[in-house]
Structure 1
Amino acid sequence: MRAVNERAGYAAHWVHSIVRIATLSHKPGGVSRQRALELTVVARRHSVMTAPHHLDRTLLPQLPKNCRIHDLAVRGDARGSLIALESGKELSFNVARIYYIFGNRPGVERGFHAHEDLTQWAICVSGSCVMRVDDGTISTDVTLDRPDLAIEIGSLIWREMHDFSADAVLLVLASAPYDPTDYIRDYDTFMAKVQG
């Protein structure tokens, strides 16, 4: 009976996730076109005994340069699940700062800045939110609604977070300590920098 229970604990289960995408093209006169798509990404999570699932990259939205989606390996058994991240393995940088955003009031939007020289990973470990990433040419909305889905955001990417669920906890891993001089908080200044 124990062997049967262990096998049941290792059984893969299905997770359905909606990724909402809005791709914008910027021109000096403003947004020239908007294209909205909705895709269903069906991710099959495997136990520690099998190879981790990787998302079909052909289903992912077009992302700005310096941004990547990471499908994180979930390990677990009948007791629950675990995700581990290590610098030099999953992470391409040494983590210098960790923070998390939670308890957001309904309708609150956050972010509205870029960084001169910083790499971050954002993971919604509970609940969901929408992360808008923009390199001045492509602006894409990515719904973060799984603890095994991360978005990597590099330097000179404008980011905005919105549509937080009541239980959302957004975890962010950063490659450098907090530095107020690294922030670009005005969108026009950001656009001038990336177009210059």
Structure 2
Amino acid sequence: MTITRLLARPMLATIFVAGGVNALRNTEGHAAKARKITDKVVPAAQQAVPQAPIPSDPATLVRINAGAQILAAAALATGRAPRLSATVLAASLVPTTLAGHAFWEEADADAKAAQQLQFFKNTSILGGLLLAAVDTEGRPGLAWRARRAAADVRREARQVAKDARREAKLAKAQLT
């Protein structure tokens, strides 16, 4: 077992379990911060996919995000679909960071410094999630497997064609 499986993934996941639980406990506070992001993103998403049932209430979106973070963190920590769960966590971290740590909007120097620190912490976590999302633990990824399968099919097709030509020559020789 690798150190990644034993320690790094569970350690990376803990912040999302804690953050998700905190968001569920303080949904209204998080929703107030999220509104500035949801008011921009939700209409664009509804326009892009009009048939999708996309909620517009920030509190509902905070709860969905919190649930996604808790489930994906549990999956990452236990090694179940680690690449997918890391991708889900990365996708959920971006709006969370933009809504919760907009240091550029702070007037107070101390508050700005604190929010900037949290923003860059989340940026660092995002980097770790992106690494986890592409980590194959030495095993080939899906793209490699697809290319390998296509090469195997082409090789087999060439062999079948070669065998068919040889058999046709033998059949022709027997007829004459």
Q: TM-score, with normalisation over the residues of structure 1? A: 0.21
Whose strand fraction is larger, Structure 1's or Structure 2's? 1
Task: Report 1 or 2 for greater relative contact order, CA contacts < 8 Å, sequence distance ≥ 6.
Answer: 1
Which has the greater radius of gyration? Answer: 2
More helix by share: 2
